[in-house]
Amino acid sequence: MKYTTLPNTKIKISKICLGTMTWGNQNNQNDGFAQMDYALEHGVNFWDTAEMYAVPSSPETYGTTETIIGNWFAKTGHRDKVVLASKIAGNGDYTAHIRTNGFAPEALKEAVNNSLKRLQTDYIDLYQLHWPERDTNYFGVRDYKHNSENKWKDNFNEILYTFDGIIKSGKIRHIGISNEKAWGTMRYLEESKAHNLPRMATIQNPYSLLNRTFEGDLAEVSILENIGLLAYSPMAFGVLSGKYIKGTAADNARLKLFPRFGRYTNPQATEATKKYLKIAEDNNMSLAQMSLAFVTQQPFVTSNIIGATNVEQLKENIDSINVVLSDEILSQINEVHDAIPNPAP
């Protein structure tokens, strides 16, 4: 395994992060336990979860993933071996069963306390805002379109002030953002600097061969402001394994169960995936490992969040840490990107 540090901290984390959002829906507790055992044994010490998991969120599955992780901590006693990240859900029709007061001070405090109980721990190492409260183009929306009717009121300072109190209580150590844009990222950084408030350490956004939109303004912000990307969906919901093109996807594969994530299988994305598959095969590697290696070795990526529905997939994904793409392969990848840029943003 390769390691780095959580930006602006001394916390050592693996460059591969264990994603957990299938536990409690596609995977049961035994599956989750097996994946945690395997990941830790192979050097993965950084895990990411969220209060709304398992995905898709529902009243029945809400909090299930954190509960599974907490049960594993209780069984193994390995809490001190894991750098743990979780998130508070934002407002939305699909999270109304959790709460409807967004990131208000009482919501942040309630969410942290509930996660701590489910996780059976006294602290969370990295606590993130799952998506912005304001109307902006996240979750697969290509371009920003201003909504003059948006009722959101600027609460960047209030959020950081509330987090300051929670950090001082010892319940969380550091904070981050997710599905955020360049403007929101800079606002958080400027508020923390101007008012001596906690600083966002990371930004967790989608990044893959099929979605390189982070390479716009956010890559510059990430590098120059030292706010590291935690890349999620690096496999584009499994599309970048090649299994859908080859017709080898299992019945419980993510896109068979949840076809609403079809942006990864639109005609342009499928054409790009075929081209990436050829590059991988021509260079004697799996498309999965090429796709993950591409993400991991980007200079703005702090950790690459992998997800798997079985240990065999997990093994292949973790082993991608040993793959280093040559300049020639990167050039071939960029030729495809130039021809079919960001088909699945």
- The span from the CA of 315 to the CA of 40, in Å, is 12
Whole-angstrom Cα distance, residue 321 to residue 343? 26
Strand partners, 173: none
- Burial-class residue 121 by CB neighbours within 10 Å (0-12, 13-18, 19+): buried
Cα 231 from Cα 178, distance rounded (Å): 10
| CA gap 244, 260 in Å, rounded | 15
> What single-letter amino acid sits at 24?
G
The three-state secondary structure class of 74 is helix
What value, to the nearest 5°, has the Cα angle with vertex 237 and ends 234 and 241?
75
53 labelled catalytic: yes
Residues in the chain: 345
Question: Exactly one of 3, 38, 53, 264 is catalytic; which is it?
Answer: 53
Catalytic positions, written as ranges: 53
